Amino acid sequence: MRLKIILAGLIAFCSFCSNGQETNQVGFNAREYYDLLGVNEITHMPDVALGKETGLTNIYTLQYRSPEVGLLNRWEMWKRNDGVAVISIRGTIQQPVSWMANFYAAMIPATGSLQINDSTNFQYQVAANPKAAVHIGWMIGLAHFAPGLVSAIKETIATDKTNQFIIMGHSQGGGLAFLTTSYLYYLTQKGELPSNIKWTTYCSAAPKPGNTYYAYDFDFITRNGKAYTIVNSADWVPETPNGVQTLNDYNTGSPFSNIQAILGSQKPIARWYLNGVFKKMDRSTKKAQRRLDKYLGHKMYKVVKKVLPQFKQPAFANTSVYTRAGVPIVLIPDAAYWQAFPEDPAKTFQHHLMGPYRMLVKTYYLNRQ
């Protein structure tokens, strides 16, 4: 009799643990990501097309769509049937102003302020390391929609009694999802948002958001949560923006910071040769850095100012070594994929759209469950 009671208890305990693992899945949740692609696809729809969320209405319900702000940035608040809130961020749309946000690609410090108009100075922090820097174009987007988003989060917490939020973005929306996650995290550290919020982030087909030190910070602050960067290896967008690593981008203590002392131990001819090579490499990378700031920073600012005439250009960070962040979920095309999406140089965004990502997630995750 005692043995039966013990066995019954063990069975009940195992059943409890199993159910807990299903509702609090550890690791990448492919089904959740797959469904969120559908949510984010609706976020990209024009206002007149709303109401076509067929197939999602039993699981996800649209609560709020923001107006277009900044460089045509937009986000939505959704509610899942289990109470989880979803922040869906729109990516690039087929408007020149939207593309400006991508090409305005100089870096600014990860902590600072942006004077977005004559009456609004946006104070922000998206990393703790003073060496961290991020993409200015996407930070402009965050600066414009952050106040409304934070208000909506507070209202959602109060109304729905939830502390679970998902942040989802595809393409430029994925780049913004990185910065949004970081910004909201540091608001919790300052007490401006509840510290018990649980965040899950899906940066889908996202470009690189900032430099190495920003990536370090992002991966550190999300270490106890879930923050994924999903990449189709045939997609060129996650390989952008272009960047360059100068000798200034290394941590203090690298041999490059004391190169003369190292070269001093060499024989005269070797010292002369190596010193010349080092100077050429140093000059060439710094020159490339200055060119990036010139064309993707100062010149693009003149274009952006025509759309945001009161925006004041901040000082750029002396870096442009763009780096990926987040837990990588890499999707490798197989034979069936290449048959469906054969290489065609004329189809620039063929591998970047949501359809190819859906196919690969189904192939490697959903079809094997």
51-74, pLDDT tens digit by residue? 655 557 679 999 999 999 999 999
pLDDT at position 42 over 80 = yes
Of the listed ranges 97-111, 181-195, 272-286, 296-310, the one predicted with least confidence: 272-286
Tell me: pLDDT of 121 over 90. Answer: yes
Q: For residue 364, is pLDDT > 80?
A: yes
pLDDT range class, residue 288, cuts 50, 70, 90: confident
pLDDT band for position 247 (cuts 50, 70, 90) = confident
Per-residue pLDDT averaged across 289-311, rounded?
Answer: 95
Whether pLDDT at 110 is above 90: yes
Res 265: pLDDT? 64
| pLDDT for 8 | 38
- For the residues 174-203, what does the mean pLDDT come to? 98
SS (HEC) of the chain: CHHHHHHHHHHHHHHHHHHHHHHCCCCCCHHHHHHHHHHHHHHCCCHHHCCCCCCCCCCEEEEEECCCECCCECEEEEEECCCCEEEEECCCCCCHHHHHHHHCCCEEECEEEEEEECCEEEEEECCCCCCCEEEHHHHHHHHHHHHHHHHHHHHHHHHHCCCEEEEEEECHHHHHHHHHHHHHHHHHHCCCCCCCCEEEEEEECCCCCEEHHHHHHHHHHCCCCEEEEEEECCCCHHHCCCCECCHHHCCCCCHHHHHHHHHCCCCHHHHHHHHHHHHHHHHHHHHHHHHHHHHHHHHHHHHHHHHCCCCCCCCCCCCECEECCCEEEEECCCHHHHHHCCCCCCCCCCCCCHHHHHHHHHHHCHHHC
Of residues 51 and 98, more confidence is placed in 98
Judged against a pLDDT cut of 90, whether residue 321 lies above it is answered with: yes
pLDDT of amino acid 51: 64
Looking at residue 21, what is its pLDDT?
31
Residue 227 pLDDT class (50, 70, 90 cuts): very high
pLDDT at 177 over 90: yes
Can you give the pLDDT at residue 13?
Answer: 33
Q: Is pLDDT above 90 for 135?
A: yes
* pLDDT greater than 80 at residue 276: no
**What's the rounded mean pLDDT across residues 342-369?**
93
Instruction: Give the pLDDT of residue 271.
Output: 62
Q: Which residue has the higher pLDDT, 49 or 41?
A: 41
Whether the pLDDT of residue 23 is over 60: the answer is: no
For the cut 80, the answer to whether the pLDDT of residue 154 exceeds it is yes
Mean pLDDT to the nearest integer, 77-87: 96
Better-predicted residue by pLDDT, 335 or 26: 335
Confidence of residue 3 (pLDDT cuts 50, 70, 90): very low
Q: What is the pLDDT of residue 15?
A: 35
pLDDT of res. 4: 42
Q: Confidence band (pLDDT; 50, 70, 90) for 249? A: confident
pLDDT of residue 11: 33
**pLDDT classification of 25: cutoffs 50, 70, 90:** low
Is the pLDDT at 77 greater than 80? The verdict is yes
